[in-house]
Structure 1
Amino acid sequence: MAGVLDSVNQRTQLVGQNRLELLLFKLKGQQIYGINVFKVKEVLQCPKLNEIPGRSGVVRGVAHIRGGTIPIMDMNQAIGRSPLEDIENCFVIITEYNRTLQGFLVRAVERIVNMNWGDIHPPPMGAGKEHYLTAVTEVENRLVEIVDVEKILAEVSPVNETISAGVVEDGLSERVVKRHILIVDDSTIARKQIQRVVESMGIATTLKKDGREALEYVHGMLEEGKNPYDELIMIISDIEMPEMDGYTFTAEVRAHPQLKNMFIVLHTSLSGVFNAAMVKKVGADDFLAKFHPDELAKRVNDRVLAITGEDLLQEQGGND
């Protein structure tokens, strides 16, 4: 698989153009799966795995790769199926999610395809609630299932969602009783993680699963005669989403004269310097790497103080 992830700089040019590249792979059978290339650090033949006591059944072992120890998860087992066999002849996809490295054991790695996010669609309605797909697409008339890796990781190693003491100002929610936060993310798990943190602060939320749905929502507010600035505290949006990615969503909001000053934080498991550059390019107000409840809560806390501070000062002045 040497060279499969070459030309990373070229791939970064796709970001912000509503495009992505998928690394295609197989598990058992002929079904094709995909993962965004930006999440992938390396692809290699399965190295020697060392058993670890008390491990999750999904974790087949750990591997020592490039000076680090990385857990290797069986992708087929992680999505609720039987373990892969003959793992010495399998491949490992090394990924970076939520600031950590992990490996996923797969049967075979095929190739990389260039896609438009408009050709990536949410899972079918009949897929049920327990599926492990974040999206689907077609490549050469064959269905490609894009795995919700964040769901897998949340089940294998749940993250702490508790906000530390002192991060949130006392009485914060009382300042924004009639306002809410729009959360946009294609991963059900990621949406719920953000929602739980925000609502634990006493602040209401509205959830949308992709950029197009979120854009239709804010446009609908205008059509109903509502002022989005009076309704929304901020928008927290993922970057990688079917139909319309977070960069394109942000650019569309900025291009609308009645929405252009909306406060947008891009919140994603993607990492790399190109994100900071793209945040500036599309005009987002901030970028936050997933997932750290204190950092998320602080962004929300600071935004609430920013939009209510003047009102609070006026109230205090009137009471003197």
Structure 2
Amino acid sequence: MAGVLDSVNQRTQLVGQNRLELLMFRLNGSQMYGINVFKVKEVLPCPPLSVIPHSSRVVRGVAYIRGRTITVLDLSIAMGSNALRDEGKGFIIIAEYNNSVQGFLVRGVERIVNMNWEAIHSPPKGSGRTHYLTAVTEVDKKLVEILDVERILAEVAPAPMALSDSYTSETVREEAINTVLIVDDSSVARTQIRRCCEAIGLNTVVLNDGKQAFNHLKAMAEAGEDPTDKYILVISDIEMPEMDGYTLTASIKNDPRLSGLHVMLHTSLSGVFNQAMVEKVGADDFLAKFHPDELAQRVLKQLEQRQASA
């Protein structure tokens, strides 16, 4: 038990400090890529893989690891490049996204670096809308690309997007006149959340990262507008360039002009440390991605509470 608590304490030291640990890896070439260590369960040499007939080309096979069968995706194929050759000499990064565990086949794993989210930037403008990057950074004067794994997974195994009929009734549409602030750096996640909220009749404002969101809310407050009058809640991702969701939440709760906002952290980070982190930064709710009915239920509950108090 003490070991678990020590581990939680070590990880939560980064919470609210706008920092992350980045695991760097390579695919076919010399380009370096990164993934948040919070999503990584373990890294191991690639074991023999069993091929799944008629599966997606991105799926190299399945492996039996630690008593469970794990699907292994070739990240190189997912990004439109050639398959990694001789997978037996590669490594598998086992990671947890959206309440499921996957293995990502890579050529080599380099090291872990501790960074500030301020050093993580959105992909440069002009790079188009079809790329698989969610952010970029620089380590040792070399560009490191952070992949939009949610987009890759959505293309290989799309999550259910449709809401149940009970959440899209005309009664809800007529009553839902408020706005939700959505903050997420993944284009796939932004679209999923926006469609869910709009399907139940809510207006949405969508921003790409925590820094944009905090500046937006501060500007409202400085102009004499109460953000809680406009937004019934803020739905924020955790992993975002410039300012992460933990820091955004702590910044909101520490500002008397904004502290009344209801903040839900909605993230693919579905590991065991989340509850301690959520409590530390003062978030009002936490939901792992992506379950449209459950998201709609949480949003409507908050809407009903707002309407009742009004």
CA shift for structure 1 position 66: 1.1
Task: Confirm or deny that 1:211 pairs with 2:210.
Answer: yes
Aligned-residue CA RMSD (Å): 1.7
Q: Residue 145 of structure 1: SS of its match in structure 2?
A: strand
Whole-Å separation in 2 of the counterparts to 1:237 and 1:168: 23
CA shift for structure 1 position 310: 4.6
Match of 1:148 in 2: 148
Match of 2:20 in 1: 20
Match of 1:115 in 2: 115
The 8 Å contact of residues 59 and 72 in structure 2, kept in 1 or not, is answered as yes
Q: Residue 161 of structure 2: SS of its match in structure 1?
A: coil
Letter of the 1:294 counterpart: D
Letter of the 1:266 counterpart: L
Match of 2:280 in 1: 281
Change (3 A) 1:207 1:127: same
The 8 Å contact of residues 237 and 264 in structure 1, kept in 2 or not, is answered as yes
Match of 1:101 in 2: 101
Whole-Å separation in 1 of the counterparts to 2:168 and 2:199: 10
Whole-Å separation in 2 of the counterparts to 1:67 and 1:9: 28
The percent of aligned pairs where both chains have the same amino acid is: 59
Whole-Å separation in 2 of the counterparts to 1:237 and 1:55: 33
The 8 Å contact of residues 8 and 276 in structure 2, kept in 1 or not, is answered as no
Q: Residue 41 of structure 1: SS of its match in structure 2?
A: strand
The 8 Å contact of residues 25 and 34 in structure 2, kept in 1 or not, is answered as yes
Match of 1:184 in 2: 183
The 8 Å contact of residues 15 and 247 in structure 2, kept in 1 or not, is answered as no
Letter of the 2:205 counterpart: T
Whole-Å separation in 2 of the counterparts to 1:129 and 1:272: 30
TM-score by length of 1: 0.91
CA shift for structure 1 position 301: 0.8
Whole-Å separation in 1 of the counterparts to 2:276 and 2:114: 22
Moved over 3 A (4+): 165-170
TM-score by length of 2: 0.94
Whole-Å separation in 2 of the counterparts to 1:133 and 1:63: 27
Number of residue-to-residue matches in the alignment? 305
Greater shift in the superposed pair: 264-273 or 239-248: 264-273
Match of 1:76 in 2: 76
Whole-Å separation in 2 of the counterparts to 1:303 and 1:181: 11
Letter of the 1:163 counterpart: L
Greater shift in the superposed pair: 221-230 or 131-140: 221-230
CA shift for structure 1 position 169: 6.8
Whole-Å separation in 1 of the counterparts to 2:15 and 2:27: 28
Whole-Å separation in 2 of the counterparts to 1:281 and 1:167: 32
Whole-Å separation in 1 of the counterparts to 2:8 and 2:71: 24
Match of 2:10 in 1: 10
CA shift for structure 1 position 242: 0.8
Match of 1:63 in 2: 63
Query: Structure 2: where are the runs of 5+ without partners?
Result: 1-6
Letter of the 2:207 counterpart: K
The 8 Å contact of residues 43 and 91 in structure 1, kept in 2 or not, is answered as yes
Letter of the 1:37 counterpart: V
Whole-Å separation in 2 of the counterparts to 1:283 and 1:310: 21
Change (3 A) 1:120 1:83: same
Whole-Å separation in 2 of the counterparts to 1:272 and 1:47: 24
CA shift for structure 1 position 170: 5.6
The 8 Å contact of residues 175 and 304 in structure 1, kept in 2 or not, is answered as no
Whole-Å separation in 2 of the counterparts to 1:78 and 1:40: 19
- After TM superposition, the structure 1 = structure 2 runs for residues 291-310 of structure 1, keeping only pairs within 5 Å, are 291-310=290-309
Match of 1:252 in 2: 251
The 8 Å contact of residues 183 and 207 in structure 2, kept in 1 or not, is answered as yes
Letter of the 2:242 counterpart: E
The 8 Å contact of residues 169 and 301 in structure 1, kept in 2 or not, is answered as no
CA deviation map 1:263-301 (0-9, x unaligned): 100111112342112212211111111111111001111
Match of 1:314 in 2: none
Letter of the 1:145 counterpart: E
The 8 Å contact of residues 168 and 297 in structure 1, kept in 2 or not, is answered as no
Letter of the 1:296 counterpart: L
Letter of the 1:34 counterpart: G
CA shift for structure 1 position 257: 1.5
The 8 Å contact of residues 39 and 271 in structure 2, kept in 1 or not, is answered as no
Whole-Å separation in 2 of the counterparts to 1:281 and 1:92: 32
Match of 1:3 in 2: none
The 8 Å contact of residues 135 and 147 in structure 1, kept in 2 or not, is answered as yes
Whole-Å separation in 1 of the counterparts to 2:58 and 2:264: 33
CA shift for structure 1 position 164: 2.1
Q: Residue 144 of structure 1: SS of its match in structure 2?
A: strand
Change (3 A) 1:260 1:9: closer
